[in-house]
Structure 1
């Protein structure tokens, strides 16, 4: 589990370094996820020579464990919002509009991606 968690955090760190160092408009964790996907694809092509936790399913179970406790990571963000209710009161309308527009954009992007993949795969 330590090796798997180290790999996850290393991918995120490298993603942050690439995003900030290159001045990219993509968040570092997104680049880190792409790097982790690349590592997993390479791992599945040539599993020999890698540490056992990376090939025996420990990486996947570590990810599932993190996802199972993901809600705990939202507590500090909620406390931060409550601590700045003055900003929420003065910028509430802008926050609400941003929330609705970004949610709609995410739904449209998801639907378009799904439609594109269905056409590409042919199912």
Structure 2
């Protein structure tokens, strides 16, 4: 499992270094996930790979990663109450835009698939 965690953290580190060097507007961990995906595709790793086992181990305890977010909500609860209307409107608009974009993309992909 240590080897798998090393691969995961190494890919994240490479992503962070890439973003810092190129000043890309993308988070380093996202670039690291793309690097990890490419590595897994090139190596054709199966379910018994150390990276996959380490990822499964982390996913089993994923709920622990929500503790800091919950603490942040509690710490800033008064601020959230003050801006509740603005937060609710922003969430609603973002939700509606997300649904519209997904629907539009689905229609375009179906039309594109029908032409092929």
Give the TM-score normalised by structure 1.
Answer: 0.71
Contact conserved, 2:47 with 2:53, CA < 8 A, in 1?
no
Contact conserved, 2:4 with 2:53, CA < 8 A, in 1?
no
Q: Which runs of 5+ in 2 are unaligned?
A: none
Distance in 2 of aligned mates of 1:16 and 1:29: 7
Structure showing greater relative contact order (alpha-carbon pairs closer than 8 Å, 6 or more residues apart) = 2
1:72-111 to structure 2, matched below 5 A, reads 72-110=64-102
Are the structure 2 counterparts of residues 23 and 59 from structure 1 closer, same or farther at C-alpha, using a change threshold of 3 Å?
A: same
Distance in 2 of aligned mates of 1:63 and 1:114: 34
Are the structure 2 counterparts of residues 81 and 55 from structure 1 closer, same or farther at C-alpha, using a change threshold of 3 Å?
A: closer
Distance in 2 of aligned mates of 1:35 and 1:9: 11
1:1-123 to structure 2, matched below 5 A, reads 1-44=1-44, 56-110=48-102, 112=105, 116=109
Contact conserved, 1:43 with 1:55, CA < 8 A, in 2?
no
Distance in 2 of aligned mates of 1:103 and 1:80: 22
Q: Give the number of equivalent residue pairs.
A: 113
Deviation at 1:13, TM superposition (A): 1.9
Measured on the aligned residues, the alpha-carbon RMSD in Å equals: 2.9
Distance in 1 of aligned mates of 2:110 and 2:42: 23
Q: 1:51 matched to which residue of 2?
A: none
> CA offsets, 1:21-64, max 9 Å, x none?
322222222111101011111212xx7xxxxxx98422212212
